Amino acid sequence: MRSRENDRLTITPLTVKDECAVLRFSGELDRASEEFYLDRIGAVVTSGYRHLVLDVTALVFCDSRGLNCLLALRWLLHRREGSLLLACVGRRLAAVLALTGSTEVLPVFTSVSEALRTLPADQRPEWPPVGSVDPGIPLHSPEPLETSWQQDANPHLPLDQRGLDSKGPDTRA
C-alpha cells in the first residue's frame, strides 16, 4: 500500500471496490496542504471513484480552508451521483463541522464499517481489508480537481456582481 504525502498531510488508500474507495487522512488539512489534497483527490475522482469514505482518525487539524476542500469534494461527488462519508471524526473536526453547520451535508460516522453500511452492498469494499492491499489508485492526477469544479456553477467559487460564478450562471436554488 502506497501513501501519498507532503510535509503536512498523508493520504493512504486502504481499500477499493468498483466506484468506492476508503482513504485514511493523517496530519493537517489546511491552506498549506490544499494543492497536495487537490492533486491526490483529483487522481481518485478521475479514476472513477464516486463514493469516498475518509477515515480521519489521524487528521489532527482542519481549518476553514480544509473544510472548504471537503465541502467542494462533497459537491463534486454529489454531481456524479456519489457521496463523501467521514469516519472516525475526532473532537476538533467534529467541533468545526458542528460550528459551521457542515454536518448537514457531510455525514459523520463513528467507524469506517458504519459508513460503508450506508452504501449499496454491491459498492462496499471488504472491510477491514484482508492482507496487504494495493488499491492501485494513481499517485498524481493528470487533470487538477479544480478543473472539474469549474465546469459548472460551483457554490464554492465566489460570485461576481451579477450573481454568476467565474464559469457561468448560478444554478443554486
3-state DSSP assignment of residue 132: coil
The count of structural domains within the chain is 1
Nearest CA among 134, 110, 58, 120 for reference residue 83: 120
Please give the Cα distance from 102 to 130 (Å, whole number). Answer: 33
Domain for residue 84, yes or no? yes
Q: Is the pLDDT of residue 87 over 90?
A: yes
Torsion of CA 1, 137, 88, 100, to 10 degrees: 150
Region 29-36: mean pLDDT is 93
Domain for residue 160, yes or no? no
Domain for residue 162, yes or no? no
Strands (E), 18-134: 20-29, 51-62, 83-87, 108-109
Q: What is the pLDDT of residue 7?
A: 78
Band (56; pLDDT cuts 50, 70, 90): very high
Region 102-112: mean pLDDT is 95
Q: Is the pLDDT of residue 165 over 80?
A: no
Q: What is the pLDDT of residue 129?
A: 86
Band (130; pLDDT cuts 50, 70, 90): confident
Q: What is the pLDDT of residue 75?
A: 94
Q: What is the pLDDT of residue 141?
A: 60
Domain for residue 156, yes or no? no
Region 85-94: mean pLDDT is 95
State the residue range of the domain holding 88. 4-149
Please give the Cα distance from 148 to 48 (Å, whole number). Answer: 13
Domain for residue 154, yes or no? no
Domain for residue 159, yes or no? no
Q: What is the pLDDT of residue 145?
A: 53
Q: Is the pLDDT of residue 159 over 80?
A: no
> In this structure, what CATH number is given to the domain that contains residue 131?
3.30.750.24
Q: What is the pLDDT of residue 143?
A: 58
Domain for residue 125, yes or no? yes
Domain for residue 171, yes or no? no
Among 4-8, 36-40, 88-92, 143-147, the least confident range: 143-147
Looking at every residue in the chain, the average pLDDT score rounds to 82
